[in-house]
């Protein structure tokens, strides 16, 4: 499903849109940095993973 439906197939997927909307809050959360250090993963990987976790939850809630 596209975030901004048009007559064309182009565009951002809704899941990606939700992740992008969640990402600023995830990045701003000091616990994201702490989690990355704890898991020995790059900050960007942890932040993206958390953002997509939120996006998946939004997609699931939307489906109900």
pLDDT in tens, the chain (64 residues): 677 666 666 778 899 999 999 999 999 999 999 999 999 999 999 999 999 999 999 999 999 8
Residue 11, pLDDT score: 75
DSSP state, residue 40 = T
CA–CA distance from 51 to each of 16, 33, 58, 60 (Å)? 9, 14, 11, 14
* DSSP H or E segment with residue 34: helix 30-39
Predicted confidence at residue 41, as pLDDT, reads 95
| Per-residue pLDDT, 7 | 62
């Amino acid at each position: 499903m596209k975030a901004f439906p048009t007559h064309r197939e182009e565009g951002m997927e809704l899941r990606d849109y939700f992740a992008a909307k969640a990402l600023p809050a995830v990045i701003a959360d000091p616990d994201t940095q702490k989690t990355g250090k704890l898991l020995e993963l790059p900050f960007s990987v942890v932040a993206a993973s958390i953002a997509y976790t939120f996006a998946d939850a939004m997609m699931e809630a939307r489906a109900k």
